[in-house]
A and B are shown apart, each in its own frame.
Chain A
Amino acid sequence: MRGAPWLVFLLLVLGPPARAGSPEEAPSPPPEEGEEPGDAAVPTPGAAPDHQTVIQASRPVSPDQTQDQVAVPGERLRESPRPTLLEALAQESASIHVTRRGVGPAGVASGAAGGLTVRGLGGSPNTQVLVVEDGVPDVQGIFGHPLPDAYVPDLIDQAVVVEGGDSVLYGSNAMGAAIVLRSRWLPEDGWEVRSDAAYGSFATLQGTVTALGRKDGWEGAFALHGMRTDGHRDGAGGSVLVIQSAGRLRLAPGWSLVLRNKAVHVTGGDPGTVQHPFTDHTFDVWRDNLSGALEYQRPGLRVTLLPYATLGRHRLHDGFQSLDWTLGGRGEVCWRPHRNWEVLGGVEAQDMDGEVRNRIQGTATDVRAMVDLAAWQQVLWRPVQGLSLVVGSRELYSLRWGFLWLGKAGVRWNFWRGWSVRTRVTRNYRQPTIRELYLPYPVANPDLRPETSLNWDATLGYEDFRHLEVSLTAYRSQARNLIRYFGSWPAAEVVNIDAYTVWGLEGRVRVRDLGPFGATVAGSWQRVGRYTRQNPEAMLDFAATLGHRWGSHRLEGEVSGEWVHGLYMANYRREPIPDPFFLDLAVRYRLEPPGKDWTLEPWLVLRNLMNRKYEYIRGYEMPGFHVLAGLKVGLGG
């Protein structure tokens, strides 16, 4: 085994000749700006002679090529053995840690799971990690976090985790990371219906129906997802219902209008620790996100107007009830004046407000709206082939605390035969939440200011574009003005005081299409100082796949797992949790008869194969060995 590192080194250096540069600099003509998948696949009748080559390409989900990102295709998320989207994303990157407590909904409030930590920032609630869905920041207006149960992969085209965050492009909360989700459309005229139903341990029943269509400039996408489970413990059950719909109309050459809506209903409870279980700590959450987008695009120019609104209602067992709403809009221009330059600029306005009352006591707590305005700019320059430089700036004005400047600068250099190096420094922020400003849980402070962070990272990577992908990243996140609670009632206080620095390393090796074999291993180590609460020192995520196709049949199996080390329930290395480790096995058989427009795909997921006892949250034991079996049926497409 002593020769193994040298073998890997030789493989990397003497690997098969790679395409020059990164995908965006491949020798083929660059894709037109603003093209969605398939946008260019259907030439305008009469406009494109037969001999012309039509280039089909996707617009990058995130426009900064110097950032450190993990991009995951929607198909992979849909086939993941993990029960939630956030857990599926965590499997792809060893710097993402997600708290879990079982197969039921992650939930909200005390005892909730779904807490996200990326590169030492985040935590519970996830106010330092932002989720952006089709350009719309998804933030619960009062508590300032995303709703972990609201994300289902049914209509996702691609998910990108921007590690290190990017508040210049995404605004508040993109401090430790931004998770950018893009929904899919059909790439060409036609229709597609997919149904996926499953049943498994703990009376878990889940079903999804998706329907997509495209014809004569009209496009539609619809998904209905439902899940209910008894949970592996009393009080751990719950249900999730997600209804998504979207329509796109091509108004005139270059113009399109999009309307989206997503409604989510989550019910469940906090089962409490195994030592002090609850059966009545229930929650009931409704959420609706509505957005529209008017877009104009022509070669070298794209203009987007995107108004959005979200409305949410949280009801807890103790009488708490909140209604929160966010109204916002953004306008963005992406202009490529020269093939080596790309300029991005935008403006955004957002109003967050809500009301809070106790249904049992009949009391209400007064809160005030948070309004902020922002403008941002990003310039990408490619002085020579293979080299990209990005600088960006966001100017933010809040009616609450005034002016804040954010910025970033990054470089990416594809220097030799698939080898690349990149580095970026970015200044991010998160605004105080309405809860921190006004709600006495246990105390509020209307004078709070935003938290800021200065994040740096650098990556050395290699990709042969066929079989091998390797990267090693060093990062440093330095957060300032952290909002912290001290003391307890009646003398508690919440103030901007703390500072925090985390250093870390993460690496990723991916081998694909080596005959029937593929594998991914991602590992990370970080020095988190005293901030050890749900902020593990080391993580290892791995997956190995084996697939075989014969005729119209395909059989595929995947073993995947995760090991987490240095996990604590409190800061200062208090309340250590034994290293969680588990293995899952997923098996899929796919029947795709030639010439037919239907597919059948029975699948089986065996979770916690070794029936290990482990937990991510102290006292919340994860389920032992359990099973989920399903059948996926596809029509059309």
Chain B
Amino acid sequence: MDRRMLVALGLWTVAVAGCETGTESATVQIQNDFNNPAVEGFKPPWTICRATYLGVEFGRIGIGETSAPQKVEPGLDYVLMVAAWDDPECHPENCLPIASKNEEEVVDGQTRTIAIGKPSHQGPCPPEGVPPIPETVYNRILELYPEYGFKPYAQRTENTQCLPE
């Protein structure tokens, strides 16, 4: 075996190790899981009026429904939403900005349904058990959906839907 063969073998191992494939996209659906029977206690009647994940709009998703699949660029982000309380018609006075509790991840080639339900969301009002939404996430929703006229973060609990009837 001479040196050329060794060099060729070395190049082959690099080439074998270096093969990469990938579509760099993932398919995502968002599910309105606020009626999940596994969750005990009161189930908040949120209709998801608008939803954006990794820059892609998913539209309106009724309780128990799942959005149409969308291609997204793989990554990690919150699901940013406008949800209406007990209002399938999504009237602005019933709406609030909410987000997924955690940043959700999808990776290259994955098909994933992200379920948003009682234990997996956060919002601006202070109901029991719902974590407060961070300011940066809240502001991103306001930027995405200015037509709803949500109040600035400092007055987030004064949004109409937050106020007691």
Contact = CB atoms under 8 A, between A and B. Distances in A.
Contacts of B163: none
A455 to B, nearest CB: 7
B114 A487 contact: yes
A484 B104 CA distance: 12
Given A411-B10, A488-B101, A572-B76, A425 B119 contact: no
Kindly name the residue among B17, B33, B36 whose own CB sees the greatest number of chain A CB atoms within 10 A: B17
B16 A497 contact: no
Contact of B76 (A493, A499, A571): A571
A62 interface: no
Interface string A188-220: 000000000000000000000000000000000
A423 B119 contact: no
A9 interface: no
B102 A456 contact: no
Contacts of A387: 1
A6 interface: no
A497 B110 contact: yes
Nearest to A424: B13
B119 A478 contact: no
A499 B110 CA distance: 11
A413 B22 CA distance: 35
B31 interface: yes
Interface string B136-164: 00000000000000000000000000000
Contact of B13 (A456, A486, A490, A571): A456
Nearest to B118: A490
B115 A456 contact: no
Contacts of A572: 75-76
Contact of A497 (B38, B107, B114, B119): B107
A622 interface: no
Interface string B6-22: 10011001101111101
Interface in B60-114: 75-76, 101-102, 104-110, 112-114
B18 A476 contact: yes
A490 B120 CA distance: 9
B124 interface: no
B119 A454 contact: no
A266 interface: no
A295 to B, nearest CB: 34
A478 B20 contact: yes
Contacts of B36: 490-491
A498 B113 CA distance: 16
Kindly name the residue among A409, A458, A484, A486 whose own CB sees the greatest number of chain B CB atoms within 10 A: A486
A258 to B, nearest CB: 37
B39 interface: yes
A170 B119 CA distance: 43
B112 A486 contact: yes
Interface in B25-44: 31, 33, 36, 38-39
Interface in B106-135: 106-110, 112-115, 117, 119-120
Given A383-B1, A490-B117, A497 B13 contact: no
A93 to B, nearest CB: 21
B33 A458 contact: no
Contacts of B9: 411, 423
A424 B6 CA distance: 12
B109 A497 contact: yes
B38 A499 contact: no
B112 A491 contact: no
B33 to A, nearest CB: 6
A454 B114 contact: no
A498 B107 contact: yes
B123 to A, nearest CB: 16
Contacts of A441: none
Contacts of A493: 112
Contacts of A530: 76
A128 B75 CA distance: 24
A330 B10 CA distance: 33
B119 A490 contact: yes
A586 B114 CA distance: 53
B76 A411 contact: no
Contacts of B19: 454
A71 B114 CA distance: 47
A479 to B, nearest CB: 12
Nearest to B110: A497
Given A497-B110, A571-B76, A490 B38 contact: yes
Contacts of A489: 119
Given A487-B114, A497-B107, A501-B20, A425 B6 contact: no
Contact of A423 (B13, B105, B107, B109): B13
A339 to B, nearest CB: 17
Interface in A366-394: 383-384, 387
A425 B31 contact: no
Contacts of A409: 13
Nearest to B117: A491
A455 B13 CA distance: 10
A476 B17 contact: yes
Nearest to A474: B14
Contacts of B20: 478, 501
Interface in A66-104: none
A530 B117 CA distance: 28
A444 to B, nearest CB: 15
Contacts of A488: 101-102, 119-120
A411 B9 CA distance: 8
Interface in A383-442: 383-384, 387, 409, 411, 413, 423-425
Q: Which 7 A-B pairs have the closest CB atoms?
A: A456-B17, A491-B115, A425-B13, A490-B38, A498-B107, A497-B110, A572-B76
Given A411-B9, A484-B107, A491-B117, 8 more contacts: A411-B10, A423-B10, A456-B14, A478-B20, A486-B112, A487-B104, A488-B101, A497-B110
Interface of A: 383-384, 387, 409, 411, 413, 423-425, 454-456, 458, 476, 478, 484, 486-491, 493, 495, 497-499, 501, 530, 571-572
21 contacts: A387-B1, A425-B13, A425-B17, A476-B14, A476-B17, A478-B17, A486-B104, A488-B101, A489-B119, A490-B33, A490-B38, A491-B114, A491-B115, A497-B109, A498-B107, A499-B107, A499-B108, A501-B20, A530-B76, A571-B105, A572-B76
